[in-house]
Amino acid sequence: MAAQSVTSMRVGFIGLGKLGLPCAVTAALKGHDVVGYDHDSSAMTKSPRPYRETGPDGTSPFDPFLAESPIRFGTLRQVIDHAEILFVAVQTPHAPQYEGTSRLPEERADFDYSHLVAAMGAISEAVTRPVVVAIISTVLPGTVRRHVLPVCSPHVKICYTPSFIAMGTTMKDYLNPEFVLLGVEDPAAAEKVSQYFSTITSAAVYRTSVESAELIKVAYNTYIGMKIVFANSIMEICHRTEGADVDDVMGAIKMAHRRLISPSYLDAGMGDGGGCHPRDNIAMSWLARDLNLSFDFFDALMTGREKQTEWLADLMCEYPLPKAILGYSFKPNSNITVGSPALLLKSILEERGHRVMLYDPHVDGRGRGLEELKPHVFLIGTKHPEFVNIKLPEGSVVLDPWRYLSSPPSGVTVVPIGGKKRVDSGTRPT
């Protein structure tokens, strides 16, 4: 989207991870005077990043934009002294057991706010003049008021403005949001942040209370998880119903734009993944129990994700062959494995006593002669385009929850999960 003409602002970014750094680079390339800080000094360089990220078009590599951008790095004090707007993109992590790559624990937990609170406390100790502080980090509703504001200096003028971005396409999503969400605590600060975003995007700014904005962010993410669980439930019905095809069914659902909103996230396949969706559902499940809601809807979503993955394990176990998963990044063309549903599948198979081979060309970073192996039952965990023409050992079976392998390798049986046809290029093992 086109933005208004740039009036350069002095902008600081605290936290230069997978969200903060691409957003900071975007701001710098839009003409703002940007200085960034991260407690991890290795993040404060223009060297290539180990994770795969793209530029503003969503396809070209991010690293050249980082290298060529005018972004600078400094100490926390230098960034604070520099900035008229300070964006805080500090992590609010969950423990590994809540990432979505293993079974759900019985207990639930809120996010860990210690990094965010520490950062806000450090900012408050260092600030010597009024400064607008816009928090980006994902939190549950009520967090800013309970945990952040008590450690803030009167000089800190708070807003809450989380971004709706996806890892891997952060710059593109930052430049082209559906809307800009702005939780208002200080009206003058909110106006300053609105002015900044008018130089980044022409998208509308949606203003609410801080608490509503906190809830909007996690509600948005968990709604995506709900759509995926629904689509995968339809896939299972179709797989058990002769003649039914999930792509036909969901193709019709996607056309219902007046009542069902959007066709996005209605392609059946694996469960949702990444750094937000599984963990946000789990955090919202904790909140549902903490507030004693009548029904823990978010637990149902995460249980559905887990049970659907168990069902895929059941399908793999129908074949008396060694088990292998093709692709374990959380989405196609990415090397990020956070929250990967394929890793949850691996964990479930290992519970059953199976050794599981994993292969992902984007994560492993090397080719592999899979055709030299003995026959396996392969499940495509990530819809990488490289798998369309992959060579596999004769006598193998490929379970395809994405239904995109139209030409099976020689001597290999392809089972499109939830689709109408089994594509045989060999003999189905018994």
Predicted confidence band at 106 (pLDDT cuts at 50, 70, 90)?
confident
Identify the three-state secondary structure at position 93.
coil
Q: Which amino acid, one-letter code, is at 427? A: T
Identify the three-state secondary structure at position 251.
helix
114 contacts: CB under 8 Å, gap ≥ 6: none
CA–CA separation, 223 and 231 (whole Å):
13
Tokens of 308: 């659907």
pLDDT of residue 5: 42
**pLDDT tens across 278-323, in order?**
677 777 788 778 878 776 777 888 888 889 899 999 999 999 999 9
Which candidate, 302, 305, 264, 293, places its Cα nearest to that of 94? 302
Domain ranges of the chain: 10-203, 220-424
pLDDT of residue 185: 94
Give burial (CB, 10 Å; 0-12/13-18/19+) of 8.
Answer: exposed
Predicted confidence band at 124 (pLDDT cuts at 50, 70, 90)?
very high
Which candidate, 204, 210, 164, 203, places its Cα nearest to that of 187? 210
What secondary structure does DSSP assign to 103-136, as a single string? PPPSS------HHHHHHHHHHHHH--S-EEEEE-
Of 154 and 372, more confident: 154
Beta carbons of 182 and 87 less than 8 angstroms apart: no
Res 429 pLDDT > 60: no
Of 286 and 398, more confident: 398
Same topology, domains 10-203 and 220-424? Answer is: yes
13 bridge partner residues: 36, 87
**pLDDT tens across 374-395, in order?**
999 999 999 998 888 888 999 9
**Strand ranges (DSSP E) for 54-202?**
72-73, 85-88, 131-135, 156-160, 180-184
**pLDDT tens across 164-201, in order?**
988 889 999 999 999 999 999 999 999 999 999 999 99
Classify domain 220-424 at the CATH superfamily level.
NAD(P)-binding Rossmann-like Domain (3.40.50.720)
Chain centroid offset of residue 92 CA: 14
pLDDT of residue 258: 74
Q: Which amino acid, one-letter code, is at 317? A: C
Which CATH entry fits the domain spanning 10-203: 3.30.2270.10, 3.40.50.720, 3.40.50.10320, 3.30.70.20? 3.40.50.720
| Mean model confidence pLDDT for the chain | 87
The backbone torsions φ and ψ at residue 279, rounded to the nearest 5 degrees and listed phi first, read -70, -35
CA distances from 404 to 261, 383, 384, 416 (A): 25, 8, 10, 8
Of 289 and 265, more confident: 289
Alpha-carbon radius of gyration of the chain: 23
CA dihedral sign of residues 341, 342, 343, 348? positive
Identify the three-state secondary structure at position 344.
helix
Of 32 and 227, more confident: 32
Q: Which amino acid, one-letter code, is at 216? A: I
CA–CA separation, 184 and 265 (whole Å):
30
